[in-house]
Amino acid sequence: MASSNIPTIPEAKMSVVADGQTEGQHLDLNGNVFELPNFTMKQIYDAIPAHCFKPSILRSMAYVVRDYFYCAALMYLAVTYIPLLPNPYLRFAAWVAYTTVQGFVFTGIWILAHECGHGAFSKNKMLNYTMGLIMHSFLLVPFHSWRLSHSQHHKSTGNIEKDTAFVPSSRESWIARNFGPSAKANMLEFAELAEDSPISTLYTALLGQLFGWPAYLLWNLTGQEYGGAKGMKISHFYFGEDSVFFKKAELPLILLSDVAIVVMITALAIAGQVFGSWNVIVLWGVPWLWVNNWIVAITFLQHTDGSMPHYNNKTWTFARGATATIDRDLGFIDTHLFHDIIGTHVCHHLVSTIPFYHAGEASEHIKKVMGTHYRADVKTGFWRAFWNAQRTCKFVEETAGAEGSGVFMYRNLYNKPGQTPVQNLVGTDKNGRNVESQTGGRGAAPVKSSAPSAMATAMSSSRNLEARRRLSQSAQLNLPLLAEG
């Protein structure tokens, strides 16, 4: 756990500039001033009642029994009554309803295993490891592999140099990945080219929702680059000594996790032989795809928002990083089936050993300490927020006037009205000469140059060609390519 005292970070010298903005201020994507958190972890711990830190084995196990009862009851009702429906359309609708609700239940089981990984399920480590291994293996998740890498995520949340999940890109790396390495990261014409069409955004989102979670486990999608390491070294299933994730002493646990996955796959294969492959696909496989969807969507939205900061290693502290997350609302689904993981995630990052059934109470107390640094968006619908973040939060950079501060905010190249423009874009005048863009003040979109340059036109054609290539190969489920593009 981080030190209870947050070191003071020297702020950039303040001087008033146009439109009331102060040089050295940090502006989020929506033009709001962001201030560094100033509370300490000691204040957070002192504010939380002592009983909130105490998990109950009986209560935790009761939730496991409840969720598996839901799972078994849904399967029984589905196989018993859905085939009796006289209309094929009604049967199809009933199967859709089953797989959707069972996906909620499966996700709840995943979250209970997540509690085990944090030690919030009980104070008994062996019980945590046993229950976590059973529940995560049921969903083809290598428990110890995930537990260890997820622990690093919690230790480094919001640190763009050390975090392990949904690490944001710099503008340069985002443009190189999407437009090619020869693209110019400061060209104003990109504002005309960089916005994905809604169909492209939807296609990318759907692929990510269905396959992003296994792609993270297999190929470290959205994780750190680890010096360009590739292949098995960046897989959560790899137990070699050159793994980028695990220490030598941890490798037997990785092997144990892999063996448990093999056992589950074997059980599914046997079930397919006994009950029919199609039954296994519908009863277990489709709900498992729903788990992939929910885990990616939940995690993405917990760590991606126009108000969200990221830090470099110089400026990052544990308290600042743990605060770089946001609570959202999914109503009854979250509070009853997802064990409140969406609505209490800020508390979870500050003190991850608090069991979920105490996290709501603990959140009310930490809000008083955090003040304006506590983030929540309970007004925007979950999927509306997801769509907005997919469309606007493309990369991070420092705010103009606060360079070197180590505080990075989300940006995009095609600023909508009211959004903070990116830094140092250049366009061309009518004579083809490079000119600095004029942002028109805080929150305004960059002024467009008079005509697209030959460079912009070439990049546009190159981008379209590259997009078609990725679309064709991604349609063949070439997931390593998705990880690259």
Residue 311: strand pairing partners: 159, 407
pLDDT, residue 209, reads 86
CA distance 364 to 373: 14
Give the model's confidence band at 17: pLDDT under 50 very low, under 70 low, under 90 confident, else very high. very low
Q: What is the pLDDT of residue 436?
A: 61
Q: Are strands 407-411 and 395-397 parallel, antiparallel or unpaired?
A: antiparallel
Instruction: Give percent above pLDDT 90 in the chain.
Output: 67
Confidence of residue 275 (pLDDT cuts 50, 70, 90): very high
Residue 480 has pLDDT above 90, yes or no: no
Q: Is 170 helix (H, G, I), strand (E, B) or coil?
A: strand
Burial call 430-449: b when 16+ CB within 10 Å, e when fewer = eeeeeeebebeebbbbbbeb
* Measured distance CA(43)–CA(368) in Å, rounded: 10
Asked which of 142-146, 284-288, 453-457 is least confident by mean pLDDT, the reply is 453-457
Task: Concatenate the DSSP letters of all residues of 379-437 into one string.
Answer: SS-HHHHHHHHHHH--EEEPPTT-TTS-EEEEE-SSPPTTSPPPS--EEE-TTS-EEE-
CA distance 401 to 361: 40
> pLDDT per residue over 215-264, tens digit each?
899 988 878 888 888 889 999 999 999 999 999 999 999 999 999 999 99
Q: Calculate the average pLDDT of the chain.
A: 85
| pLDDT score of 435 | 63
Task: Please tell me the least confidently modeled range out of 44-53, 340-349, 370-379, 434-443.
Answer: 434-443
* Whether the Cβ atoms of residue 350 and residue 41 lie closer than 8 Å to each other: yes
Q: Give the start-to-end residue ranges of the domains of the chain.
A: 50-393
What does the pLDDT read at residue 18?
37
Of 428, 425, 434, 439, the closest CA to residue 191 belongs to 425
**Do 310 and 395 touch, CB atoms closer than 8 A?**
no
- Given a cut of 70, whether residue 92 has pLDDT beyond it is yes
Give the pLDDT band of residue 444 (cuts 50, 70, 90).
Answer: very low
Distance CA 78, CA 380 (A): 34
Query: What pTM value is reported for the model?
Result: 0.83
Predicted pLDDT at 428: 62
State yes or no: pLDDT of 467 exceeds 60.
no
What pLDDT does residue 227 have? 81
pLDDT digits (tens, 9 = 90+) for 168-191: 999 888 888 877 877 777 776 666
pLDDT tens digits, 317-362: 999 999 999 999 999 999 999 999 999 999 999 999 999 999 999 9
Average pLDDT over residues 256-283: 97
Which residues lie below 8 Å from residue 155, measured CB to CB, with a gap of 6+? 162, 318
Q: Tokens representing 443?
A: 């929150």
The pLDDT value given to residue 437? 58
Q: What is the pLDDT of residue 327?
A: 97
Residue type, 389: A
Please say if the pLDDT value at position 442 is more than 70: no
Give per-residue pLDDT as tens, 34-56: 999 999 999 999 999 999 999 99
Q: How far apart are CA 242 and CA 74, in angstroms?
A: 43
CA 145 vs. chain centroid, Å, equals 18
Q: Binning pLDDT at 50, 70 and 90, where does residue 472 land?
A: very low
Q: What is the pLDDT of residue 422?
A: 87
pLDDT at 19 exceeding the cut of 90: no
pLDDT exceeds 80 at position 146:
yes
Quote the pLDDT of residue 484.
Answer: 33
Per-residue pLDDT at 111 exceeds 80: yes
* Alpha helices per DSSP H over 194-317: 198-219, 251-275, 277-280, 286-303
CA dist 193 → 384, 402, 412 (Å): 24, 27, 11
Count CB neighbours of 337 within 10 A: 21
